Amino acid sequence: MIVVFGGLESLTTSAIFLQLIIFAALITASHLFRLYIKRKNWLSLKIVPLSFRVILGALILAVIAQIAIHFVIYGLIPSDDLSEFSFISFVGYVFGVFGVLVLWSAIYILIKSIQKGQQGEIEKLELKSALQEAELMILKNQINPHFLFNALNNIRSLILTDQDRARHMVTHISDLLRYSIQFNASEKVTLEEEMEIVRDYLQLESIQFNDRLAYIFNIDEETKSLKIPPMAIQLLVENAIKHGLSIQKNGGFIRVESTHKDEWLIIKVTNTGQLGTKKKREGIGLKNLVERMKILFGEFAEFKLENSSADTVTASLKIPVT
């Protein structure tokens, strides 16, 4: 910035040239100071040692800059418009440049500190996301062998005694495995897609139960397009059969229902049976489902397993609709 105290007539060519020299020198000095701060990694220092270095560095650089400026304008490019050298003026210029450098450094360090903090938060979120994704894949890989073992165990009991039924079971298992492979990489699937595999699974189980298993679907049309974790309902149904219906002499029923209430998707799987007083029926499948729910929805999702009447048990999922 050029300040003309004597009016426009005092703005001579030499004065403009002088101002350009001063401007170039200050820009160069500030640029070199920034590079020095960056090279010495001052931004990683605490506030006290950082402040000390900035103040001392700005003072030294201001002195050097004024020496260079005075050497150029008095020694290399003398002008008749210049007043005689004054030490007091020289000191005043030094402190003026010093103040500018300190202010500029404070702004630069503040901006860099904010950027560094934001970058740190981004890196933390990326790391957290990567860890959750890895954990989610581990849980999925635990679920699939667990389910496959149960399905193959069902087929083994029929393959020698009823080949026709065994053949139908193989067809349903094929559909189940295709679904499992297709959606293994997906965090969520639609409820309608999930219900297709639940239907295959129940048809597979009904073959083994010899008409002792009845199932009912009460699915709200509004919920069919909503997203849920893959294999979520299938795990609830599998758990209901394994720990509920399989120990009932006369079999029983399973009812799967879904509703959309406010901002929540509510899924309920009710089956014949009762929870034991000492131990709840939570195997690896349900535990993994709960962990996946936490990863995908945090503390917002809910899972409950409770006796809903004198002869029924209900497992319910409450998932936020996004």
Q: What is the pLDDT of residues 168-210, one digit of tens each?
A: 777 777 777 777 666 656 678 899 988 988 888 888 777 767 7
> Which of 123, 148, 181 is the C-terminal boundary of a domain?
123
Of the listed ranges 84-93, 234-243, 282-291, 301-310, the least confidently predicted one is: 282-291
Band (314; pLDDT cuts 50, 70, 90)? very high
Residues 102 and 215 in one domain: no
**What mean pLDDT value characterizes the chain?**
76
Instruction: With cut-offs at 50, 70 and 90, classify the pLDDT of residue 145.
Output: low
Q: Which range, 22-36, 99-113, 140-154, 179-193, has the best average confidence (pLDDT)?
A: 99-113
Q: Is residue 151 part of a domain?
A: no
Look at residue 128 and tell me if it is in a domain. Answer: no
Q: Give the phi and the psi of residue 270 in degrees, each rounded to 5.
A: -110, 135
Cα–Cα distance, 259 to 261 (Å, whole number): 6
For range 116-135, the mean pLDDT:
66
Compute the distance between CA of residue 20 and CA of residue 23 in angstroms, rounded to an integer: 5
Is 176 inside any structural domain? yes
Looking at the structure, tell me whether residues 71 and 178 fall in a common domain: no
Establish if 27 belongs to a structural domain. Answer: yes
Least trusted range by pLDDT, from 33-37, 180-184, 303-307: 180-184
Q: Clarify whether residues 215 and 302 are in a common domain.
A: yes
Residues 6 or more apart whose CB falls under 8 angstroms from that of 300 comprise 320
Q: Which stretches of the chain are DSSP H helices?
A: 13-39, 47-71, 87-156, 163-182, 191-209, 232-243, 284-297
Is 270 within 8 Å of 306 (Cβ atoms)? no
Q: Is 19 or 234 the better-scoring residue by pLDDT?
A: 234
**163 and 239 both lie in a single domain:** yes
How many structural domains compose the chain? 2
Domain boundary (98, 123, 148) is at 123
Task: Say if residue 256's pLDDT is above 90.
Answer: yes
Q: Is the model's pLDDT at 281 over the cut of 80? A: no
The answer to whether residues 109 and 178 belong to one domain is no
98 and 169: one domain? no
Own/partner pairs, 87-91, CB within 8 angstroms, 24+ separation? 90/66
Identify the domain containing residue 117 by its residue range. Answer: 8-123
Is there a contact between 184 and 135 (Cβ–Cβ < 8 Å)? no
Q: 231: closest CA among 189, 200, 276, 290?
A: 189
Domain co-membership, 68 together with 165:
no
Share of the chain above pLDDT 90, in %: 10
We report the CATH number of the domain holding residue 264 as: 3.30.565.10
Distances (CA, A) of 152 to 130, 155, 157: 34, 5, 9
Taking 80 as the threshold, does the pLDDT of residue 287 lie above it? Answer: no
Does residue 149 lie within any of the structural domains? no
pLDDT band of residue 234 (cuts 50, 70, 90) is confident
pLDDT at residue 4 is higher than 50:
no
Note the pLDDT of residue 224.
92
Q: pLDDT at position 123, please?
A: 67
C-alpha span between 194 and 107 (Å, rounded): 56
Query: What tokens does 212 get?
Result: 């002792």
Residue 5 tokens read as 């105290």
Q: What confidence score (pLDDT) does residue 154 get?
A: 66
Q: Are residues 177 and 96 in the same domain?
A: no
Give CA torsion, residues 57, 58, 61, 63, to 10 deg: -120
- Both 106 and 232 in a single domain? no
C-beta atoms surrounding 298 within 10 Å: 9
> What are 39-56's pLDDT values in tens digits?
888 877 788 888 888 888
In a domain, 195, yes or no: yes
pLDDT beyond 90 at 269: yes
* 265 part of a folded domain: yes
Q: What is the pLDDT of residue 266?
A: 93
Longest alpha-carbon distance in the chain: 117
One domain for residues 187 and 282: yes
Residue 139 forms part of a structural domain:
no
Judgement on whether residues 211 and 313 belong to the same structural domain of the protein: yes
Q: Kindly state whether residues 277 and 195 are assigned to the same domain.
A: yes
